[in-house]
Amino acid sequence: MNTKGSKRVIFCSTLLIACIATFNTSASDDFDRLYAQAKTEMNSEFGAFYTMQLNSEIGENHANVLDNCTKKHKNSEKQLFSAIFEINSDGIIKAFHIDKKTGFAACLKSRFVGLEVPMPPYDGYLSPFN
């Protein structure tokens, strides 16, 4: 290979690595950003009210999810994790974001997504799981 071709390959490789590094945000960074947004929303006037409604709904109508996952994952339930509900405007839980994939957290995620809860103020509303 000639010198000009070698320089071109090195340049393209360097450019590719720079692009990957620039656009590759980690899952942890994404979770931290979502969690900060959820905390901000929770501290708003409506957010505090909605958080009470959501926690009440989970406790009263979806306690079986917590019970089943607790029984199924007795050891991992003690591992701390943070989670965020992402809720559609129609009140359907669209996603359950978790920062650590424990058995208990994964169980909750599989059970919570798709459940109906009180309608939030807008689509994609984020609320921390407490």
Q: Is residue 61 part of a domain?
A: yes
Q: Is residue 15 part of a domain?
A: no
Higher pLDDT, 73 or 1: 73
* Contact between residue 122 and residue 103 where contact means Cβ atoms under 8 Å apart: no
Q: What does pTM read for this prediction?
A: 0.75
Higher pLDDT, 92 or 23: 92
Range of the domain at 45: 27-128
Q: Is residue 14 part of a domain?
A: no
Q: Is the pLDDT of residue 58 over 80?
A: yes
Q: Is residue 6 part of a domain?
A: no
* Contact between residue 36 and residue 99 where contact means Cβ atoms under 8 Å apart: no
